[in-house]
Chain A
Amino acid sequence: MSSTAERFFSNRTAATATIVIGLIVLVALVGPFLYPNDPSAVVAKPFELPFGAYPLGTDVLGRDVAAGLIYGARTSLTVALVASLAALLAGTLIGATAGYYGGLLGDMLMRCTEFFQTIPTFLFAVVIVAVLTPSMTSIAVGVAAVSWPPVARLVRAEFLSMRQREFVHAAECLGAPDHQILFQHILPNCLAPIIVMGSLTVAQAILLESALSFLGLSDGSTFSWGYMIGAGRTFLRSEWWLCAIPGMAILVTVLCINIIGEALNDALNPLLKD
């Protein structure tokens, strides 16, 4: 494993991206304690310029933009992580079952996966959030509901190619129970592509969450980056930074996660590099 880490960190872009993501996660974790301003509290008059009394100025209601950004990091990352974990779990279970057992069950599961892929993703997420009444939980549910199909397809393909390998036959002959074969023998051998897929899922989840919050599909009391852009949108003509700053935060976060995902892919599959 150490050589994988070495390969990963020898990629300087990936190392930088990891540091940046580390900092963003740190801000999300401890920021609210170090920077105690409440993001929804009115602290000054509206539209204070950045770099004044408040590092990033104030918004339309006179709320501290910097505080919003810090709490927003917390919301955006939490929702994206929770939704991605749920999607990875569901996708892996469905894909593994379909790939290992095949047959009618596998067919049905894959038909179901394809069915969910025909529905326009974003619209489906919007409908789910609207039906469940907008909140951070329903956004996470919506994002997870549209993120699992690609995972299921990938995992199925991996399991399908593994199930004829000798180590699987050997485990079967030894009478190992199914769950042991699936999760202790096959899964560890498919972990590399699932990890890469996972990082891309998180990046997409952040984009989805921001788009949903931008449309006003949050409960309004929880700050997120997309919500801040949506709220600042009306003042684009005069106070453009209210949109620009949270947008940059999303861009940098997603960019870094994508870079890490790609570098992971190269590091985990050293033979594939061209």
Chain B
Amino acid sequence: MIRFITRRLAQALPTVLLIFALSFFLLKLAPGDMAAVMAGESGGGSAEYVQNLREQYGLERPMILQLFSYLKNVATLNLGYSYRQNMPVFDLIMSRLGPTALLMLTSFAVSILAGVALGIAAARNVNRPVDRVISVISTLGYATPLFWVGLMLILLFSITFRQLPTSGMENVAAFNEGFARVKDIAWHLVLPVVSLSLFYTAVYTRLMRASLLEQSKMNYVVTAEAKGLAPRKVMYGHVLRNALLPILTMAGVQIGSMLGGSIIIESVFGWPGMGLLAYEALFARDLNLLMGILIVSSVMVILINIAVDVLYAVVDPRIQLN
């Protein structure tokens, strides 16, 4: 297990370096001198800082040497300083990681659970009304812009019924502690999670239905039925386990997309995570901060994918980690 993880980490190294290089070239692509771009356009940093950056990255030297000094800086977690936010970029991103992780992991769990449950309900009632209704819901979920769902949910549950908070992660003014704080955060979490999960629930529902239907044609199902196993036991003891594998694969693929979705959901709900930070960076034209977020979240996606691979081997013993 340890050896597998080390090997996967080593394999991921070139990808990580490529991501650093990509962000370097994107910074180069922005109009204007790279040092000025990194210091924040429209007068973020002082002239001294810009000059400092110019020397640090050796912007007078050939491009390839500049790239090397950029890689060295990023690899040592030096992502620059955000004058807009008055904090080193890396620290700034780390301080926003928690809320994003909370939002994403909850949405991840909710969409998989809901998708699996709806998929089972649809597959057990193929071409009956239940299946039709679920299919209509998932088709709609597939076609609705995330941010618009968020706005409409705010309209319905926060403005019309006044039940749920419109924005933020907690009621800071209430100075909640302990369980009361957890409850408050959970209450704030409801709408963002529902908005972010809708699309992914639709994806997993369809996949689960298709996967269950495919598995139910397999020989082992015939055998299980022939030996007189109750349909419920065939379903939950045999078919479900096998049908879950494609869901797990898909979940690994969707992580990056979900991280992107959280940017827009966070900016709709004022959720104080990395996404809102990206939105703020966008408005301040703080490209270097934006690049830092891109780097950190890409590395996160790689790490989560390695975790999914390990999980895969735990769920399916046929897959050998070596």
Mark B244-257 against chain A: 1 for CB-CB distance below 8 A, else 0.
00000000010011
The CA-CA distance from A237 to B263 in the complex, in Å, is 23
The CA-CA distance from A229 to B151 in the complex, in Å, is 9
Q: A130-B287, A130-B290 are in contact. Are A251 and B143 (CB under 8 A)?
A: yes
Within 8 A of A (CB), among B243-283: 253, 256-257, 259-261, 263-264, 267-268, 278-279, 282-283
The CA-CA distance from A13 to B213 in the complex, in Å, is 23
CB of B290 within 8 A of CB of A115, answer: no
CB of B26 within 8 A of CB of A127, answer: yes
Question: Does B19 belong to the interface (CB within 8 Å)?
Answer: yes
Task: Write the chain A residue with the least CB distance to B12.
Answer: A118
CB of A236 within 8 A of CB of B154, answer: yes
Q: Which of B50-58, B87-95, B225-233, B296-304 contacts A (4 or more CB under 8 A)?
A: B296-304
Question: Does A34 belong to the interface (CB within 8 Å)?
Answer: no
Which of chain B's residues have a CB closer than 8 A to the CB of A258?
139, 142-143
The CA-CA distance from A119 to B298 in the complex, in Å, is 5
Question: Does B311 belong to the interface (CB within 8 Å)?
Answer: no
Mark A184-226 against chain B: 1 for CB-CB distance below 8 A, else 0.
0000000000000000000100010011001111000000001
CB of A120 within 8 A of CB of B147, answer: no
Q: How many residues of A contact B (CB 8 A)?
A: 41
Question: Does A131 belong to the interface (CB within 8 Å)?
Answer: yes
Question: Does B291 belong to the interface (CB within 8 Å)?
Answer: yes
Mark A89-126 against chain B: 1 for CB-CB distance below 8 A, else 0.
00000000000000000000000000101111111111
Task: Write the chain B residue with the least CB distance to A238.
Answer: B159
CB of A255 within 8 A of CB of B139, answer: yes
Query: Pick the contact of B19 from A119, A131, A233 — CB < 8 Å?
Result: A119
Q: A215-B264, A229-B147, A251-B148 are in contact. Are A118 and B29 (CB under 8 A)?
A: no
The CA-CA distance from A123 to B261 in the complex, in Å, is 8
Task: Write the chain A residue with the least CB distance to B268.
Answer: A233
Question: Does A243 belong to the interface (CB within 8 Å)?
Answer: yes
CB of B148 within 8 A of CB of A119, answer: no
Question: Does B285 belong to the interface (CB within 8 Å)?
Answer: yes
The CA-CA distance from A6 to B39 in the complex, in Å, is 61
The CA-CA distance from A48 to B283 in the complex, in Å, is 30
How many whole Å from B35's CB to the nearest CB in chain A? 16
Which of chain B's residues have a CB closer than 8 A to the CB of A247?
145, 148, 151-152
Query: Pick the contact of A250 from B29, B145, B264 — CB < 8 Å?
Result: B145
CB of B147 within 8 A of CB of A211, answer: yes
CB of A121 within 8 A of CB of B30, answer: no
Which of chain A's residues have a CB closer than 8 A to the CB of B267?
215
Which of chain A's residues have a CB closer than 8 A to the CB of B293?
123
Question: Does B82 belong to the interface (CB within 8 Å)?
Answer: no
Query: Pick the contact of B264 from A119, A211, A240 — CB < 8 Å?
Result: A211
Q: A126-B282, A127-B291 are in contact. Are A120 and B151 (CB under 8 A)?
A: no
Mark B200-240 against chain A: 1 for CB-CB distance below 8 A, else 0.
00000000000001000000000000000000000000000
Which of chain B's residues have a CB closer than 8 A to the CB of A240?
155, 159
Which of chain B's residues have a CB closer than 8 A to the CB of A237?
159
Which of chain A's residues have a CB closer than 8 A to the CB of B283?
216
Q: A229-B147, A255-B140 are in contact. Are A122 and B298 (CB under 8 A)?
A: no
The CA-CA distance from A259 to B140 in the complex, in Å, is 10
Task: Write the chain A residue with the least CB distance to B37.
Answer: A131
Which of chain B's residues have a CB closer than 8 A to the CB of A124?
260, 294
Task: Write the chain B residue with the least CB distance to A134.
Answer: B282
CB of A259 within 8 A of CB of B26, answer: no
Which of chain B's residues have a CB closer than 8 A to the CB of A229?
145, 147-148, 151
Question: Does B176 belong to the interface (CB within 8 Å)?
Answer: no
Which of chain A's residues have a CB closer than 8 A to the CB of B143?
203, 207, 251, 254-255, 258
CB of B139 within 8 A of CB of A259, answer: yes
Question: Does A128 belong to the interface (CB within 8 Å)?
Answer: yes
Question: Does A274 belong to the interface (CB within 8 Å)?
Answer: yes
How many whole Å from B22's CB to the nearest CB in chain A? 8
CB of B282 within 8 A of CB of A216, answer: yes
Q: A120-B257, A120-B259, A122-B260 are in contact. Are A243 and B151 (CB under 8 A)?
A: yes
Task: Write the chain B residue with the least CB distance to A257.
Answer: B143
CB of A210 within 8 A of CB of B145, answer: yes
CB of A207 within 8 A of CB of B301, answer: no
Question: Does A133 belong to the interface (CB within 8 Å)?
Answer: yes
Query: Pick the contact of A133 from B18, B26, B31, B256 — CB < 8 Å?
Result: B31
CB of B301 within 8 A of CB of A217, answer: no
Q: Which residues on A are within 8 Å of B, measured CB to CB?
A: 115, 117-128, 130-133, 203, 207, 210-211, 214-217, 226, 229, 233, 236-237, 240, 243-244, 247, 250-251, 254-255, 258-259, 274
20 additional A-B pairs beyond A229-B148, A251-B140, A254-B145, beta carbons within 8 Å, are A119-B22, A119-B301, A122-B260, A124-B260, A125-B260, A207-B145, A211-B147, A214-B264, A215-B282, A216-B283, A217-B282, A229-B151, A236-B151, A240-B159, A243-B152, A244-B152, A251-B148, A254-B143, A255-B143, A259-B139
* 22 residue pairs from A and B, CB less than 8 Å apart: A115-B15, A118-B15, A118-B305, A119-B22, A120-B260, A120-B294, A120-B298, A120-B301, A122-B260, A122-B263, A122-B264, A124-B294, A126-B282, A131-B27, A203-B143, A211-B145, A215-B267, A233-B151, A237-B159, A243-B148, A244-B152, A250-B145
